Structure 1
Amino acid sequence: MLLLLDTANLEDIKKGIDLYPIEGVTTNPSIIARENTNFLSRICDIKDTIGSGRMLHVQTVGLKADDIVREGVYLNQLMGDNFYVKIPVIPEGIKAMKVLKSMGVATTATAIFTPQQVVMAARAGASYAAPYINRIDNIIGDGVKVVEDISRIISTHNLDIKVLGASFKNTEQIHKACLAGAHTITAPLDLVETLVNHPLTGASVEKFSIEWESVYGKKLTYDF
Protein backbone atom coordinates (compact mmCIF):
# COMPACT_ATOMS: atom_id res chain seq x y z
CA MET A 1 0.00 0.00 0.00
CA LEU A 2 1.22 3.50 -0.88
CA LEU A 3 0.75 6.63 1.21
CA LEU A 4 0.12 10.04 -0.38
CA LEU A 5 -0.46 13.51 1.07
CA ASP A 6 -3.71 15.24 0.13
CA THR A 7 -2.61 18.87 0.31
CA ALA A 8 -1.14 21.85 -1.49
CA ASN A 9 0.63 23.24 1.57
CA LEU A 10 4.36 23.25 0.89
CA GLU A 11 5.38 23.15 4.55
CA ASP A 12 3.18 20.12 5.18
CA ILE A 13 4.65 18.42 2.11
CA LYS A 14 8.22 19.10 3.21
CA LYS A 15 7.53 17.84 6.74
CA GLY A 16 5.67 14.79 5.49
CA ILE A 17 8.41 13.78 3.08
CA ASP A 18 11.08 14.33 5.74
CA LEU A 19 9.41 12.14 8.37
CA TYR A 20 7.24 9.59 6.59
CA PRO A 21 7.37 7.22 3.58
CA ILE A 22 5.32 9.54 1.38
CA GLU A 23 5.02 8.39 -2.24
CA GLY A 24 3.41 11.50 -3.65
CA VAL A 25 0.82 14.26 -3.41
CA THR A 26 -2.79 14.70 -4.53
CA THR A 27 -4.59 18.01 -4.95
CA ASN A 28 -7.91 19.33 -6.19
CA PRO A 29 -9.33 22.81 -6.93
CA SER A 30 -10.66 23.22 -3.37
CA ILE A 31 -7.31 22.33 -1.79
CA ILE A 32 -5.43 24.74 -4.06
CA ALA A 33 -7.96 27.52 -3.39
CA ARG A 34 -7.38 27.22 0.37
CA GLU A 35 -3.75 28.22 -0.18
CA ASN A 36 -4.88 31.50 -1.80
CA THR A 37 -2.02 31.47 -4.29
CA ASN A 38 -1.40 31.16 -8.03
CA PHE A 39 -2.62 27.74 -9.16
CA LEU A 40 0.11 26.97 -11.69
CA SER A 41 2.94 28.32 -9.56
CA ARG A 42 1.83 26.21 -6.62
CA ILE A 43 1.63 23.05 -8.74
CA CYS A 44 5.17 23.69 -10.02
CA ASP A 45 6.40 24.31 -6.46
CA ILE A 46 4.85 21.03 -5.31
CA LYS A 47 6.53 19.17 -8.14
CA ASP A 48 9.89 20.74 -7.31
CA THR A 49 9.42 19.82 -3.65
CA ILE A 50 8.56 16.16 -4.17
CA GLY A 51 10.91 15.56 -7.13
CA SER A 52 10.46 13.24 -10.09
CA GLY A 53 10.49 10.05 -8.02
CA ARG A 54 7.13 10.71 -6.36
CA MET A 55 3.65 10.83 -7.85
CA LEU A 56 1.66 14.02 -8.34
CA HIS A 57 -2.10 13.85 -8.99
CA VAL A 58 -3.61 17.20 -10.02
CA GLN A 59 -7.30 17.71 -10.78
CA THR A 60 -8.41 19.69 -13.80
CA VAL A 61 -10.93 22.51 -13.51
CA GLY A 62 -12.56 22.13 -16.94
CA LEU A 63 -15.92 20.40 -17.21
CA LYS A 64 -15.99 19.71 -20.95
CA ALA A 65 -13.89 16.92 -22.44
CA ASP A 66 -12.00 19.24 -24.80
CA ASP A 67 -11.08 21.57 -21.94
CA ILE A 68 -10.06 18.70 -19.67
CA VAL A 69 -7.86 17.19 -22.39
CA ARG A 70 -6.26 20.52 -23.23
CA GLU A 71 -5.51 21.21 -19.57
CA GLY A 72 -4.32 17.66 -18.95
CA VAL A 73 -1.90 17.66 -21.87
CA TYR A 74 -0.46 21.02 -20.83
CA LEU A 75 0.04 19.97 -17.20
CA ASN A 76 1.51 16.62 -18.23
CA GLN A 77 4.08 18.30 -20.46
CA LEU A 78 4.93 20.76 -17.68
CA MET A 79 5.15 18.24 -14.83
CA GLY A 80 6.94 15.34 -16.55
CA ASP A 81 7.31 11.89 -14.98
CA ASN A 82 4.95 10.40 -12.39
CA PHE A 83 2.15 12.83 -13.17
CA TYR A 84 -1.54 11.91 -13.19
CA VAL A 85 -4.40 14.07 -14.40
CA LYS A 86 -7.28 13.81 -11.92
CA ILE A 87 -10.64 13.80 -13.68
CA PRO A 88 -14.13 13.54 -12.14
CA VAL A 89 -16.21 10.59 -13.34
CA ILE A 90 -18.78 12.71 -15.16
CA PRO A 91 -19.63 11.76 -18.79
CA GLU A 92 -17.32 14.44 -20.21
CA GLY A 93 -14.62 13.25 -17.82
CA ILE A 94 -14.91 9.65 -19.02
CA LYS A 95 -14.56 10.89 -22.59
CA ALA A 96 -11.47 12.89 -21.62
CA MET A 97 -9.93 9.81 -19.97
CA LYS A 98 -10.32 7.88 -23.21
CA VAL A 99 -8.69 10.64 -25.24
CA LEU A 100 -5.82 11.16 -22.81
CA LYS A 101 -5.22 7.41 -22.64
CA SER A 102 -4.81 7.35 -26.43
CA MET A 103 -2.27 10.18 -26.08
CA GLY A 104 -0.25 8.37 -23.42
CA VAL A 105 -1.27 10.67 -20.56
CA ALA A 106 -1.93 8.94 -17.23
CA THR A 107 -5.18 9.74 -15.43
CA THR A 108 -6.83 9.30 -12.04
CA ALA A 109 -10.61 9.03 -11.86
CA THR A 110 -11.92 11.04 -8.94
CA ALA A 111 -15.16 11.98 -7.15
CA ILE A 112 -16.12 8.29 -7.10
CA PHE A 113 -19.11 7.14 -5.09
CA THR A 114 -20.01 3.79 -6.70
CA PRO A 115 -18.14 0.68 -7.90
CA GLN A 116 -19.64 0.96 -11.38
CA GLN A 117 -18.05 4.38 -11.82
CA VAL A 118 -14.72 2.62 -11.36
CA VAL A 119 -15.61 0.06 -14.04
CA MET A 120 -16.32 2.89 -16.47
CA ALA A 121 -13.10 4.69 -15.54
CA ALA A 122 -11.03 1.52 -15.87
CA ARG A 123 -12.41 0.79 -19.33
CA ALA A 124 -11.72 4.42 -20.27
CA GLY A 125 -8.06 3.95 -19.34
CA ALA A 126 -7.68 5.51 -15.89
CA SER A 127 -4.75 4.26 -13.81
CA TYR A 128 -6.22 5.08 -10.40
CA ALA A 129 -9.72 5.46 -8.98
CA ALA A 130 -10.34 7.67 -5.96
CA PRO A 131 -13.48 6.80 -3.95
CA TYR A 132 -14.50 9.47 -1.43
CA ILE A 133 -14.77 7.43 1.77
CA ASN A 134 -16.04 10.02 4.24
CA ARG A 135 -18.32 11.73 1.75
CA ILE A 136 -19.96 8.38 1.04
CA ASP A 137 -20.45 7.91 4.78
CA ASN A 138 -21.96 11.39 5.00
CA ILE A 139 -24.80 10.43 2.63
CA ILE A 140 -25.64 7.39 4.79
CA GLY A 141 -23.54 5.12 2.61
CA ASP A 142 -20.65 2.87 3.55
CA GLY A 143 -17.39 4.16 2.10
CA VAL A 144 -15.34 1.16 3.20
CA LYS A 145 -17.87 -1.25 1.69
CA VAL A 146 -17.63 0.64 -1.59
CA VAL A 147 -13.84 0.15 -1.52
CA GLU A 148 -14.34 -3.54 -0.80
CA ASP A 149 -16.77 -3.90 -3.72
CA ILE A 150 -14.43 -1.98 -6.03
CA SER A 151 -11.49 -4.20 -5.06
CA ARG A 152 -13.56 -7.33 -5.68
CA ILE A 153 -14.67 -6.13 -9.12
CA ILE A 154 -11.10 -5.22 -10.07
CA SER A 155 -9.90 -8.68 -9.03
CA THR A 156 -12.80 -10.59 -10.59
CA HIS A 157 -12.55 -8.87 -13.96
CA ASN A 158 -8.79 -8.24 -13.92
CA LEU A 159 -9.22 -4.50 -14.46
CA ASP A 160 -6.04 -2.48 -14.89
CA ILE A 161 -6.75 0.17 -12.26
CA LYS A 162 -5.81 0.75 -8.63
CA VAL A 163 -7.86 2.06 -5.72
CA LEU A 164 -6.71 5.39 -4.31
CA GLY A 165 -8.76 5.90 -1.15
CA ALA A 166 -9.53 9.56 -0.47
CA SER A 167 -11.69 11.82 1.73
CA PHE A 168 -10.73 10.41 5.11
CA LYS A 169 -11.64 12.00 8.43
CA ASN A 170 -10.20 9.53 10.92
CA THR A 171 -7.69 6.71 11.32
CA GLU A 172 -10.38 4.03 11.52
CA GLN A 173 -11.57 4.84 8.00
CA ILE A 174 -8.01 4.52 6.70
CA HIS A 175 -7.47 1.25 8.55
CA LYS A 176 -10.68 -0.29 7.24
CA ALA A 177 -10.08 0.95 3.69
CA CYS A 178 -6.68 -0.76 3.74
CA LEU A 179 -8.30 -4.00 4.91
CA ALA A 180 -10.92 -3.62 2.17
CA GLY A 181 -8.21 -3.58 -0.51
CA ALA A 182 -7.20 0.03 -1.14
CA HIS A 183 -3.86 0.03 -2.98
CA THR A 184 -3.12 3.64 -2.04
CA ILE A 185 -4.51 6.16 0.40
CA THR A 186 -4.23 9.95 0.42
CA ALA A 187 -4.81 12.08 3.49
CA PRO A 188 -3.80 15.44 5.03
CA LEU A 189 -0.62 15.51 7.09
CA ASP A 190 -2.40 15.78 10.44
CA LEU A 191 -4.28 12.57 9.71
CA VAL A 192 -1.17 10.80 8.38
CA GLU A 193 0.54 11.61 11.67
CA THR A 194 -2.16 9.77 13.62
CA LEU A 195 -1.14 6.55 11.87
CA VAL A 196 1.93 6.27 14.09
CA ASN A 197 0.62 7.94 17.23
CA HIS A 198 -0.39 5.87 20.26
CA PRO A 199 -0.18 6.81 23.95
CA LEU A 200 1.42 3.48 24.87
CA THR A 201 4.17 4.03 22.31
CA GLY A 202 5.00 7.37 23.87
CA ALA A 203 4.85 5.88 27.36
CA SER A 204 7.19 3.06 26.31
CA VAL A 205 9.75 5.46 24.85
CA GLU A 206 9.59 7.61 27.97
CA LYS A 207 10.17 4.51 30.14
CA PHE A 208 13.17 3.49 28.01
CA SER A 209 14.70 6.95 28.51
CA ILE A 210 14.09 7.05 32.25
CA GLU A 211 15.63 3.62 32.82
CA TRP A 212 18.61 4.42 30.56
CA GLU A 213 19.31 7.71 32.29
CA SER A 214 19.04 6.13 35.75
CA VAL A 215 22.09 3.98 34.92
CA TYR A 216 24.04 5.88 32.26
CA GLY A 217 22.96 9.50 32.67
CA LYS A 218 21.63 11.79 29.98
CA LYS A 219 24.79 11.89 27.87
CA LEU A 220 24.79 9.22 25.17
CA THR A 221 28.21 7.61 24.60
CA TYR A 222 29.49 4.52 22.76
CA ASP A 223 32.75 2.65 23.28
CA PHE A 224 33.78 2.67 19.62
Structure 2
Amino acid sequence: MEFFLDTADLDEIRLAGKQGLIDGVTTNPTLLSRQGGDWKKRMQQICDEVDGPVSLEVISPDAEGMLREAEELVRYGDNVVIKVPMTAEGLIATRTLTGKGIKTNVTLVFSAMQALLAAKAGATYVSPFLGRLDGIGHEGMEIVSQIRTIFDNYGYETKILAASIRHAQHVLDSALVGADVVTVPYSVLRQLMHHPLTDSGLDAFLADWNKLTQS
Protein backbone atom coordinates (compact mmCIF):
# COMPACT_ATOMS: atom_id res chain seq x y z
CA MET A 1 0.00 0.00 0.00
CA GLU A 2 1.23 3.49 -0.85
CA PHE A 3 1.27 6.35 1.63
CA PHE A 4 0.52 9.90 0.54
CA LEU A 5 0.92 12.80 2.94
CA ASP A 6 -2.14 15.06 3.15
CA THR A 7 -0.50 18.42 3.75
CA ALA A 8 0.94 21.61 2.30
CA ASP A 9 3.58 21.85 5.04
CA LEU A 10 7.04 21.55 3.50
CA ASP A 11 8.67 20.68 6.81
CA GLU A 12 6.33 17.70 7.23
CA ILE A 13 6.95 16.60 3.65
CA ARG A 14 10.72 16.76 4.08
CA LEU A 15 10.66 14.91 7.40
CA ALA A 16 8.44 12.12 6.08
CA GLY A 17 10.66 11.91 3.02
CA LYS A 18 13.75 11.39 5.18
CA GLN A 19 11.87 8.63 7.01
CA GLY A 20 11.02 6.96 3.70
CA LEU A 21 7.33 7.04 4.53
CA ILE A 22 5.64 8.84 1.66
CA ASP A 23 5.02 7.97 -1.97
CA GLY A 24 3.18 11.18 -2.85
CA VAL A 25 1.27 14.20 -1.52
CA THR A 26 -2.31 15.42 -1.65
CA THR A 27 -3.24 19.05 -1.16
CA ASN A 28 -6.35 21.20 -1.26
CA PRO A 29 -7.16 24.92 -0.90
CA THR A 30 -7.77 24.54 2.85
CA LEU A 31 -4.34 23.01 3.47
CA LEU A 32 -2.64 25.65 1.33
CA SER A 33 -4.46 28.50 3.08
CA ARG A 34 -3.25 27.27 6.49
CA GLN A 35 0.36 27.78 5.41
CA GLY A 36 -0.13 31.38 4.32
CA GLY A 37 2.21 33.18 1.95
CA ASP A 38 2.36 32.71 -1.81
CA TRP A 39 0.30 29.59 -2.48
CA LYS A 40 1.55 29.27 -6.05
CA LYS A 41 5.14 29.27 -4.87
CA ARG A 42 4.29 26.67 -2.25
CA MET A 43 2.67 24.36 -4.82
CA GLN A 44 5.79 24.62 -6.95
CA GLN A 45 8.00 23.83 -3.94
CA ILE A 46 5.91 20.77 -3.10
CA CYS A 47 6.05 19.45 -6.66
CA ASP A 48 9.82 19.99 -6.72
CA GLU A 49 10.29 18.30 -3.33
CA VAL A 50 8.21 15.18 -3.98
CA ASP A 51 9.25 12.44 -6.42
CA GLY A 52 5.80 10.84 -6.51
CA PRO A 53 2.37 12.17 -7.50
CA VAL A 54 1.13 15.49 -6.11
CA SER A 55 -2.62 16.12 -6.22
CA LEU A 56 -3.50 19.77 -6.92
CA GLU A 57 -7.17 20.70 -6.82
CA VAL A 58 -9.33 22.64 -9.28
CA ILE A 59 -12.07 24.84 -7.84
CA SER A 60 -14.29 25.78 -10.80
CA PRO A 61 -17.82 24.33 -10.72
CA ASP A 62 -17.98 23.71 -14.49
CA ALA A 63 -15.91 21.40 -16.66
CA GLU A 64 -14.66 24.20 -18.90
CA GLY A 65 -13.27 26.08 -15.91
CA MET A 66 -11.75 22.90 -14.43
CA LEU A 67 -9.94 22.21 -17.68
CA ARG A 68 -8.56 25.76 -17.84
CA GLU A 69 -7.27 25.44 -14.28
CA ALA A 70 -5.82 22.01 -15.02
CA GLU A 71 -3.81 23.47 -17.89
CA GLU A 72 -2.19 25.86 -15.39
CA LEU A 73 -1.67 23.27 -12.66
CA VAL A 74 0.13 20.70 -14.83
CA ARG A 75 2.83 23.29 -15.45
CA TYR A 76 4.05 22.83 -11.88
CA GLY A 77 5.57 19.46 -12.75
CA ASP A 78 5.27 16.12 -14.49
CA ASN A 79 4.12 14.59 -11.18
CA VAL A 80 0.95 16.71 -10.92
CA VAL A 81 -2.36 14.87 -10.56
CA ILE A 82 -5.46 16.99 -11.11
CA LYS A 83 -7.89 16.72 -8.21
CA VAL A 84 -11.46 16.92 -9.56
CA PRO A 85 -14.74 16.87 -7.60
CA MET A 86 -17.17 13.97 -7.98
CA THR A 87 -19.82 15.89 -9.89
CA ALA A 88 -21.37 15.60 -13.34
CA GLU A 89 -19.09 18.39 -14.56
CA GLY A 90 -16.16 16.79 -12.78
CA LEU A 91 -16.71 13.56 -14.71
CA ILE A 92 -16.61 15.46 -18.00
CA ALA A 93 -13.33 17.08 -16.94
CA THR A 94 -11.96 13.72 -15.82
CA ARG A 95 -12.78 12.08 -19.13
CA THR A 96 -11.20 14.93 -21.08
CA LEU A 97 -8.05 15.06 -18.96
CA THR A 98 -7.62 11.29 -19.15
CA GLY A 99 -7.89 11.50 -22.92
CA LYS A 100 -4.99 13.96 -22.86
CA GLY A 101 -2.87 11.64 -20.73
CA ILE A 102 -3.24 13.76 -17.58
CA LYS A 103 -3.70 11.88 -14.31
CA THR A 104 -6.74 12.64 -12.18
CA ASN A 105 -7.88 12.15 -8.60
CA VAL A 106 -11.67 12.24 -8.25
CA THR A 107 -12.30 13.54 -4.76
CA LEU A 108 -15.27 13.86 -2.38
CA VAL A 109 -16.41 10.31 -3.11
CA PHE A 110 -18.98 9.06 -0.61
CA SER A 111 -20.44 5.97 -2.28
CA ALA A 112 -19.28 2.96 -4.25
CA MET A 113 -21.45 4.02 -7.18
CA GLN A 114 -19.73 7.38 -7.36
CA ALA A 115 -16.40 5.56 -7.42
CA LEU A 116 -17.62 3.30 -10.23
CA LEU A 117 -18.68 6.30 -12.33
CA ALA A 118 -15.31 7.95 -11.76
CA ALA A 119 -13.52 4.77 -12.83
CA LYS A 120 -15.66 4.59 -15.98
CA ALA A 121 -14.65 8.18 -16.73
CA GLY A 122 -11.01 7.10 -16.56
CA ALA A 123 -9.94 8.44 -13.16
CA THR A 124 -6.43 7.51 -12.05
CA TYR A 125 -7.51 7.64 -8.39
CA VAL A 126 -10.81 7.81 -6.52
CA SER A 127 -10.82 9.27 -3.02
CA PRO A 128 -13.53 7.95 -0.67
CA PHE A 129 -13.71 10.15 2.44
CA LEU A 130 -13.77 7.77 5.41
CA GLY A 131 -13.74 10.17 8.34
CA ARG A 132 -16.55 12.32 7.00
CA LEU A 133 -18.72 9.26 6.44
CA ASP A 134 -17.98 7.99 9.96
CA GLY A 135 -18.86 11.44 11.26
CA ILE A 136 -22.44 11.19 9.99
CA GLY A 137 -22.98 7.67 11.32
CA HIS A 138 -22.02 5.69 8.20
CA GLU A 139 -19.34 3.00 8.02
CA GLY A 140 -16.72 4.63 5.81
CA MET A 141 -14.62 1.50 5.51
CA GLU A 142 -17.55 -0.44 4.06
CA ILE A 143 -17.44 1.91 1.06
CA VAL A 144 -13.78 1.12 0.47
CA SER A 145 -14.53 -2.61 0.66
CA GLN A 146 -17.38 -2.25 -1.84
CA ILE A 147 -15.22 -0.24 -4.25
CA ARG A 148 -12.47 -2.86 -4.03
CA THR A 149 -14.92 -5.63 -4.91
CA ILE A 150 -16.41 -3.70 -7.85
CA PHE A 151 -13.04 -2.73 -9.30
CA ASP A 152 -11.77 -6.29 -8.98
CA ASN A 153 -14.96 -7.71 -10.51
CA TYR A 154 -14.59 -5.65 -13.67
CA GLY A 155 -10.84 -5.10 -13.92
CA TYR A 156 -10.76 -1.34 -13.36
CA GLU A 157 -7.22 -0.03 -12.95
CA THR A 158 -8.34 3.07 -11.03
CA LYS A 159 -6.60 3.16 -7.66
CA ILE A 160 -8.54 3.47 -4.41
CA LEU A 161 -7.09 6.36 -2.41
CA ALA A 162 -8.54 6.25 1.11
CA ALA A 163 -8.89 9.84 2.32
CA SER A 164 -10.20 11.76 5.32
CA ILE A 165 -8.12 9.48 7.55
CA ARG A 166 -8.63 10.33 11.21
CA HIS A 167 -6.56 7.75 13.10
CA ALA A 168 -4.30 4.71 12.87
CA GLN A 169 -7.21 2.24 12.80
CA HIS A 170 -8.41 3.80 9.55
CA VAL A 171 -5.00 3.03 8.02
CA LEU A 172 -5.00 -0.56 9.26
CA ASP A 173 -8.53 -1.22 8.05
CA SER A 174 -7.76 0.37 4.66
CA ALA A 175 -4.82 -1.99 4.26
CA LEU A 176 -6.93 -4.99 5.25
CA VAL A 177 -9.73 -4.29 2.76
CA GLY A 178 -7.33 -3.56 -0.09
CA ALA A 179 -7.07 0.20 -0.57
CA ASP A 180 -4.21 0.99 -2.94
CA VAL A 181 -3.26 4.24 -1.21
CA VAL A 182 -3.98 6.09 2.02
CA THR A 183 -3.45 9.82 2.32
CA VAL A 184 -2.81 10.86 5.90
CA PRO A 185 -1.85 13.93 7.92
CA TYR A 186 1.56 13.69 9.53
CA SER A 187 -0.10 13.35 12.95
CA VAL A 188 -1.48 9.97 11.88
CA LEU A 189 1.92 8.87 10.58
CA ARG A 190 3.27 9.57 14.07
CA GLN A 191 0.53 7.39 15.55
CA LEU A 192 1.60 4.53 13.30
CA MET A 193 5.21 4.78 14.48
CA HIS A 194 4.49 4.48 18.19
CA HIS A 195 3.40 1.72 20.53
CA PRO A 196 3.55 1.85 24.35
CA LEU A 197 5.33 -1.51 24.51
CA THR A 198 8.04 -0.21 22.18
CA ASP A 199 8.54 2.79 24.45
CA SER A 200 8.60 0.72 27.66
CA GLY A 201 10.87 -1.88 26.07
CA LEU A 202 13.34 0.79 24.99
CA ASP A 203 13.30 2.33 28.47
CA ALA A 204 14.06 -1.09 30.00
CA PHE A 205 16.96 -1.71 27.60
CA LEU A 206 18.42 1.71 28.37
CA ALA A 207 18.08 1.17 32.09
CA ASP A 208 19.87 -2.18 31.84
CA TRP A 209 22.59 -0.62 29.69
CA ASN A 210 23.16 2.06 32.32
CA LYS A 211 23.54 -0.68 34.95
CA LEU A 212 26.14 -2.42 32.80
CA THR A 213 28.16 0.70 32.16
CA GLN A 214 28.08 1.79 35.80
CA SER A 215 29.19 -1.56 37.24
Q: TM-score range by the shorter chain?
A: over 0.9
1:155 maps to 2:152: yes
Residues 60-106 of structure 1: CA deviation (Å, up to 9, x unaligned): 111110111111122113312x3211101111100000110111111
Q: Give the Å deviation of 1:216.
A: 4.2
Farther off after superposition, 34-43 or 1-10:
34-43
> 2:68 and 2:102 mapped to 1: Cα distance?
11
Show the counterpart of 2:198: 201
Within-5 A mapping of 1:38-187: 38-50=38-50, 53-80=51-78, 82-187=79-184
> 2:52 and 2:94 mapped to 1: Cα distance?
22
Q: Give the Å deviation of 1:48.
A: 2.0
- Normalized against structure 2, the TM-score is what? 0.95
Structure 1 residue ranges without an equivalent (≥5): 218-224
- Asked whether the equivalents of residues 6 and 26 of structure 2 are also in contact (C-alpha less than 8 Å), the reply is yes
Show the counterpart of 2:5: 5
- Asked whether the equivalents of residues 5 and 183 of structure 2 are also in contact (C-alpha less than 8 Å), the reply is yes
Letter of the aligned partner of 1:75 in structure 2?
A: L
Show the counterpart of 1:17: 17
Q: Give the Å deviation of 1:24.
A: 1.2
Equivalent position SS for 1:111: strand
Q: How many residues end up aligned between the 2 structures? A: 214
> 2:4 and 2:205 mapped to 1: Cα distance?
32
Q: Give the Å deviation of 1:38.
A: 2.3
- Asked whether the equivalents of residues 47 and 80 of structure 2 are also in contact (C-alpha less than 8 Å), the reply is no
- Asked whether the equivalents of residues 87 and 108 of structure 1 are also in contact (C-alpha less than 8 Å), the reply is yes
Letter of the aligned partner of 2:3 in structure 1?
A: L
- Asked whether the equivalents of residues 97 and 124 of structure 1 are also in contact (C-alpha less than 8 Å), the reply is yes
Structure 2 residue ranges without an equivalent (≥5): none
Choose the corresponding residue for 1:212, options 186, 209, 213. 209
Residues 39-78 of structure 1: CA deviation (Å, up to 9, x unaligned): 211100111222xx22211111111101111111221133
Residues 8-55 of structure 1: CA deviation (Å, up to 9, x unaligned): 0111111221224211110011111222222211100111222xx222
Percent identity over paired residues: 30
Segments of 4+ in structure 1 off by > 3 A? none
> 1:72 and 1:25 mapped to 2: Cα distance?
17
